[in-house]
């Protein structure tokens, strides 16, 4: 048996009761879990601070000082031991609230001590509570000097009561390494270690817990990050290769009348270069007899729908049916209308299927799907229900990836003997490195260019004090015949407050923009669907000039005449949400504007977010900054994936390494797809024994 699978209670020095708390508090069940409980920081014990240089916001520091006075003060609850310690630059205070008598007895006035703790201040004086104390001796100084970086482990009060604080944990890990370091087997091929100058695995585990010095610690971390990212990419790419071998793909080998007719007679504009490039990528994918799984990323308005439609027309030319799946009825309906208007009547049979399609209509649809008459079906996930059977489904387009799980994609693959090609479209640009991890098993296409002649949206940041100027601007644009959105934040936790916000906002707006000159639509989550629809329609038809709304308008609204987006309390929105909201304007021929209203007081991150919005319209740039600000765990769509449960590496800060690792793994599979060469045997072993430190079942 692999010694690292040994249950934690059997490890030397643990025992049953401590095993219980380790499991409960830290999820440490076996030796491997303990080995992979890495320090969250290291404390530098190489230097000694002078008392006068101690600031309250420093991390743990070490001081060499002589004790000059001790006193127990207060009584009962407020009882504490206060000791003065002095060096040649000043005096500081050391305080104990617990273990007072013992500490008092064991610390000696007049002696010098090595004092280690987190500085604070009390009445303007430097202070430390419950510092670690060791009496000065040349021997102790030498030992401390050699300890250089001291790890600190996450612990809890409960753990501490079982002597499992940093010191206790370190001791357990020390014992484990002493006994089993030799059982930590290398899991990367030797030539990879050489090429990327990676520390071997044993040394890496030893140094991450007991660093020899800062350089070695760096090497250790780098090695473990490499390994972590390596096996993540390994898994993703292996899946991809497996799928390629398992699933044959429909071959779209010709371009026929459907496509040609559309391209020559119907397409109202020239394609952008980015659109052409993506179409070509899809063409290549769908000709080679392997199932396509492609992610199409592109900002709102970059023209993804046309690309999807044209690929579908090729599928139809080759005798297949196609479908588009959208996350909401509004979006599905919008796609249906867009596609209807693009292809015109009597060209290819197109239909809409959603949860609210009447039974009778549904029956007719099913029939036409089964006999192959219906070529394009657009809908919500109603169209992958088991009752929906296709004669020959050749291609599926999924809009807005992150709302569809892998599960649902898999369901689609089963819709045919040969699974349909899958094109996933998303308007939420995500950074390249994140895409590599989240969608690492998909091929990725990017439309990074807006259609020519589109005027970039101009974004302004106004403080509350400029509200009148903002109203003036709204009036000026409305006088030109334009329409305006005013959006208020809606955050689940404080729904009441938000509603109040919205209500106040509506009142201010109604006063500033009175009837009969101005008409306002109001849309928020508390309205019934029919009321919402009615209000939306009034705005869409141009009967109202202002739409006051919460973020419900984020998706699914397309009003080309609306050219101004006002976002209230903009500092409360995340970057990707701000970007999505801004994408509601800029859809017509007119110059569009986005005005971000905020209070004077901004957090640092809030300021960066608003500045970013003002500075750029590029969704990819914005997503990069979002990733830096919030870290990978908070980016939309990543929470449930588990893919980002990384222990050492961090997708936001280790982007370069990730790109390097991805390339490395790609090369391995290119050279040796079956991993049959001797130098790659080690990879089979590593993934079989689960010794790679990643839990496979979380990924895919
Ligand atoms: P997306 O789905 O990427 O948000 P759409 O496909 O809905 O974008 O396109 C946005 C608008 O731009 C649509 O009105 C579409 O007809 C138009 N459009 C798409 N491609 C081009 C192009 N190459 N030139 C001009 N307009 C285009
Ligand atoms: Mg779209």
Residue 306 has pLDDT above 80, yes or no: yes
Cα angle: 341, vertex 345, 351; to 5 degrees:
80
Q: Do residues 80 and 27 share a domain?
A: no
Could you report the per-residue pLDDT of 121-158, keeping only the tens digit for each? 777 788 999 998 989 988 877 766 666 678 889 888 88
Distance between Cα 306 and ligand 1 center (Å): 7
Per-residue confidence (pLDDT) for residue 560, from 0 to 100: 87
Ligand 1 atom at shortest distance from the alpha carbon of 583: 4
586 and 522 assigned to the same domain: yes
Which H/E stretch holds residue 626?
helix 619-630
If one counts every other C-beta atom within 10 angstroms of the C-beta of residue 216, the result is 19
Residue nearest atom 24 of ligand 1, based on CA coordinates: 451
Residue 211: HSE in the Cβ half-sphere, 13 Å Cα cutoff:
23
Query: Residue 696: its pLDDT value, please?
Result: 34
Residue to substitute in 295, 301, 448 for testing ligand 1 pocket (most ligand atoms within 8 angstroms of CB): 301
* Backbone phi, psi, residue 574, to 5°: -75, 165
What local confidence, expressed as pLDDT, does residue 362 receive? 92
* pLDDT (tens digit per residue) in 181-237: 999 999 999 999 999 999 999 999 999 999 888 789 899 999 999 999 999 899 888
**CATH value at residue 139:** 2.40.50.140
Q: Which of 91, 62, 53, 274 is nearest to 149 (CA)?
A: 62
pLDDT at 543: 96
- For residue 214, the CA-to-ligand 2 centroid distance in Å is 50
The H or E element containing residue 510 is helix 495-512
Any residues with Cβ below 6 Å from ligand 1, and which?
269, 271-272, 275, 298, 300-306, 427, 451
If you measure from the C-alpha of residue 335 to the centroid of ligand 2, how many angstroms do you get, rounded to a whole number?
A: 7
Question: What's residue 698's pLDDT?
Answer: 30
Tell me if residue 549 falls in helix, strand or coil: strand
Task: Looking at the CA of 268, name the nearest ligand.
Answer: 1
Mutate which of 305, 332, 558 for ligand 1 pocket (most atoms within 8 A of beta carbon): 305
Strand 546-549 relative to strand 520-523: parallel, antiparallel, unpaired?
Answer: parallel
What tokens appear for 27 in the block? Answer: 């999820």
Ligand number nearest CA of 305 is 1
d(CA 287, CA 250) in angstroms, rounded, equals 8
Q: What is the CA radius of gyration of the chain?
A: 32
Q: How far is the CA of 300 from the centre of ligand 1 (A)?
A: 9
Measure the CA–CA gap between 315 and 256, rounded to whole angstroms.
9
Domain identity same for 171 and 132? no
| Residue 10: alpha-carbon gap to chain centroid | 38
Taking the centre of ligand 1 as the mean of its atom positions, its distance from the CA of residue 249, in whole angstroms, is: 29
Residues contacting residue 592 through CB under 8 Å, at least 6 positions apart: 455, 457, 458, 563, 564, 565, 585, 586
Contact by Cβ (8 Å): 521, 509:
no
pLDDT of residue 546: 96
For the CA of 308, the nearest atom of ligand 1: 6
- Block residue for tokens 């990017």: 446
Q: Read off the tokens for 292.
A: 């396509």
In this structure, which ligand is nearest to the CA of 449? 1
Question: Ligand 2 centroid vs 305 CA: distance in angstroms?
Answer: 6
**Does the residue 215 lie in any domain?**
no
**Reduced to 3 DSSP states, what percent helix, strand and coil does the chain have, rounded to the nearest 5?**
45, 20, 35
- pLDDT attached to residue 416: 62
CA of 341 relative to ligand 1 center, distance in Å: 13
Atom in ligand 1 nearest the alpha carbon of residue 306? 6
302 CA from centroid of ligand 1 (Å): 6
For CA atoms 33, 35, 36, 37, the dihedral sign is: positive
**DSSP secondary structure letter of residue 49:** B
At 692 the pLDDT is 42
Residue 354 CB partners (closer than 8 Å, separation 6+):
329, 332, 333, 379, 380, 382
Question: Is pLDDT at 354 greater than 60 in this prediction?
Answer: yes
Please report the atom of ligand 1 found closest to the CA of residue 302: 3
pTM given for the model: 0.71
In the prediction, which pLDDT does 149 show?
78
Ligand 1 pocket test target in 424, 428, 451 with most atoms within 8 Å of CB: 451
Decide which of 361 and 453 is more confident: 361
In this prediction, residue 693 has a pLDDT band, given cuts at 50, 70 and 90, of very low
Alpha-carbon gap, residue 387 to 371, rounded angstroms: 14
Return the pLDDT at 402: 55
What integer pLDDT is reported at residue 634 of this predicted model? Answer: 56
Residue 666, in any domain of the structure = no
pLDDT-above-90 percentage for the chain: 52
Q: Give me the mean pLDDT over the 467-474 stretch.
A: 96
What is the distance in A from the centroid of ligand 2 to the CA of 301? 7
Domain check: are 87 and 100 in the same one?
yes
601-611 pLDDT per residue, tens: 999 899 999 99
90 and 107: one domain? yes
Same domain, 372 and 473: no
Task: Please give the pLDDT value at position 555.
Answer: 55
- The closest residue, in CA terms, to atom 23 on ligand 1 is 271
Q: pLDDT confidence of 498, banded at 50, 70, 90? A: low
Domain annotation covers residue 449: no
DSSP notation for 676-696: -SGGGHHHHHHHHTTTTS--G
Give the chain's count of helices (H) and strands (E): 24, 22
Task: Please give the pLDDT value at position 628.
Answer: 84
Which ligand sits nearest to residue 589's alpha carbon? 1
Pick the ligand that lies closest to the CA of residue 453: 1
Amino acid 277: pLDDT: 97
The string of pLDDT tens digits covering residues 616-648 is 998 889 988 988 887 765 555 554 455 566 889
Which residue intervals of 525-645 are DSSP H helices?
A: 529-540, 575-582, 604-615, 619-630
- Cα distance between residue 311 and residue 288, in whole Å: 15
Task: Give pLDDT, residue 695.
Answer: 35
Structural domain includes residue 468: yes
CA torsion sign for 660, 662, 665, 666 is negative
Residue of the nearest CA to atom 10 in ligand 1? 301
* Domain assignment of residue 93, given as a range: 47-147
Same domain? For 470 and 559 the reply is yes
Tell me, yes or no, whether 521 lies in a domain. yes
CB atoms within 10 A of CB 676: 9
- Going by C-alpha positions, the residue among 15, 4, 131 that lies closest to residue 63 is 131
Q: Note whether 488 and 421 are same-domain residues.
A: no
Q: How many whole angstroms from 421 Cα to the centroid of ligand 1?
A: 23
Q: Are residues 374 and 469 in the same domain?
A: no
Q: What is the mean pLDDT of the chain?
A: 87
Whether omega for the bond prior to residue 516 falls within 30 degrees of 0, making it cis, is: yes
Domain-embedded: residue 236:
no
More confident residue, 26 or 401: 26
- pLDDT per residue as tens digits for the range 29-71: 999 999 999 998 887 777 788 998 888 777 778 899 999 999 9
Residue 103 lies in a domain: yes
Domain count, the chain: 4
Q: How far apart are CA 654 and CA 224, in angstroms?
A: 12
Please check the confidence at residue 405 and state whether its pLDDT lies above 60: no
Structure confidence at residue 406 (pLDDT): 55
Interval 303-321 mean pLDDT: 96
pLDDT band (50, 70, 90) for residue 505: confident
The answer to whether 232 touches 650, Cβ cutoff 8 Å, is: no
Residues 164 and 280 in one domain: no
In this predicted structure, what is the pLDDT of residue 147? 60
The pairing of beta strand 90-96 with beta strand 80-87: antiparallel
pLDDT at 640: 46
Q: What pLDDT was estimated at residue 683?
A: 93
Question: Between vectors from CA 303 to CA 544 and to CA 429, what angle results, nearest 5°?
Answer: 95
- Are residues 139 and 163 both part of a single domain? no
Q: Is residue 292 part of a domain?
A: no
Q: Are residues 108 and 159 in the same domain?
A: no
Q: Where are the alpha helices (DSSP H) in 107-189?
A: 138-147, 157-160, 166-180
How far does CA 675 lie from the centroid of its chain?
A: 31
510-550 tens-digit pLDDT: 999 999 999 999 988 788 888 888 998 899 899 999 999 98
Q: How far apart are CA 545 and CA 517, in angstroms?
A: 10
242 pLDDT tier (thresholds 50, 70, 90): confident
Q: What gap in Å lies between CA 544 and CA 557, rounded to an integer?
A: 15
Ligand 1 nearest-atom number relative to CA 299 = 3
> Averaged over 451-461, what is the pLDDT?
90
Average pLDDT over residues 3-22: 90
- On the 0-12 / 13-18 / 19+ scale of CB atoms within 10 A, 462 is middle
Q: What CATH number is given to the structural domain containing 407?
A: 3.40.50.300
């Amino acid at each position: 048996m692999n010694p690292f699978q040994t249950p934690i209670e059997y490890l030397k020095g643990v025992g049953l009761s401590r095993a219980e708390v380790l499991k409960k508090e830290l999820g440490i069940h076996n030796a491997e879990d303990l080995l992979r409980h890495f320090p969250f920081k290291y404390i530098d014990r190489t230097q000694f601070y002078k008392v006068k240089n101690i600031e309250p916001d420093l991390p743990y520091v070490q001081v060499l000082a002589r004790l000059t006075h001790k006193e127990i003060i207060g009584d009962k609850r407020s009882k504490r031991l206060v000791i003065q310690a002095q060096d040649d630059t000043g005096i500081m205070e050391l305080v104990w609230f617990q273990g007072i008598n013992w500490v008092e007895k064991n610390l000696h006035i007049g002696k010098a001590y090595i004092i280690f703790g987190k500085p604070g201040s009390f009445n303007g004086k430097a202070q430390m509570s419950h510092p670690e104390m060791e009496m000065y001796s040349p021997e102790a100084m030498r030992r401390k000097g050699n300890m250089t970086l001291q790890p600190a482990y996450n612990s809890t009060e409960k753990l501490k009561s079982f002597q499992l604080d940093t010191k206790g944990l370190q001791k357990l890990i020390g014992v484990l390494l002493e006994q089993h370091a030799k059982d930590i087997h290398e899991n990367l091929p030797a030539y990879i270690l050489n090429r990327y100058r990676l520390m071997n695995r044993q040394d890496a585990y030893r140094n991450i817990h007991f660093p020899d010095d800062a350089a070695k610690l760096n090497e250790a971390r780098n090695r473990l990050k490499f390994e972590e990212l390596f096996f993540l990419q390994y898994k993703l790419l292996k899946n991809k290769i497996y799928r390629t071998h398992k699933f044959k793909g429909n071959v779209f080998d010709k371009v026929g009348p459907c496509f040609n007719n559309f391209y020559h007679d119907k397409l109202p504009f020239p394609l952008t270069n980015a659109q052409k490039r993506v179409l070509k990528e899809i063409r290549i994918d769908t000709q080679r007899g392997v199932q396509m799984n492609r992610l199409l990323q592109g900002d709102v308005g970059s023209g993804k729908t046309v690309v999807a439609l044209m690929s579908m027309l090729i599928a139809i030319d080759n005798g297949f049916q196609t479908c588009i799946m959208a996350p909401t009825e509004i979006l599905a309906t919008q796609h249906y209308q867009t596609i209807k208007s693009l292809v015109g009547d009597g060209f290819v049979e197109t239909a809409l299927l959603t949860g609210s399609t009447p039974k009778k209509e549904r029956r007719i649809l099913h029939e036409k799907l089964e006999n192959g008459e219906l070529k394009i079906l657009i809908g919500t996930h109603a169209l992958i229900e088991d009752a929906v059977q296709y004669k020959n489904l050749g291609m599926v387009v999924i809009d807005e990836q992150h709302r569809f799980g892998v599960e649902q994609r898999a369901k689609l693959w089963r819709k045919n003997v040969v699974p349909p090609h899958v094109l996933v479209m998303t308007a939420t640009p995500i950074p390249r490195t994140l895409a590599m991890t989240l969608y690492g098993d998909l091929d990725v296409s990017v439309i990074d260019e807006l259609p020519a002649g589109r005027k970039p949206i101009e974004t302004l940041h106004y403080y509350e004090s400029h509200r009148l100027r903002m109203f003036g601007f709204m009036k000026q644009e409305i006088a030109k015949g334009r329409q305006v959105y005013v959006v208020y934040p809606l955050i689940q936790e404080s729904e009441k407050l938000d509603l109040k916000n919205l209500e106040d906002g509506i009142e201010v707006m109604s006063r500033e923009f009175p009837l009969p000159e101005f008409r306002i639509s109001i849309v928020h989550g508390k309205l019934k669907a029919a009321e919402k629809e009615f209000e939306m329609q009034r705005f869409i038809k141009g009967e109202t000039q202002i739409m006051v709304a919460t973020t419900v308008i984020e998706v699914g609204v397309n009003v080309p005449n609306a050219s101004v987006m006002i976002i209230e309390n903009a500092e409360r929105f995340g970057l990707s949400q701000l970007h999505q909201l801004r994408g509601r304007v800029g859809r017509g021929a007119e110059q569009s504007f986005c005005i971000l209203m905020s209070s004077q007081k901004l957090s640092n991150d809030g300021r960066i977010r608003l500045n970013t919005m003002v500075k750029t319209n590029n969704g990819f740039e914005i997503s990069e900054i979002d990733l830096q600000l919030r870290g990978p765990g908070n980016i939309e769509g990543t929470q449930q994936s588990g893919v980002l449960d990384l222990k050492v590496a961090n997708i936001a800060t280790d982007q370069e390494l990730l790109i390097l690792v991805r390339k490395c793994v790609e090369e391995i599979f290119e050279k040796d797809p079956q991993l049959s060469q001797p130098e790659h045997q080690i990879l089979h072993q590593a993934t079989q024994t689960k010794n790679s430190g990643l839990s496979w079942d979380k990924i895919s």
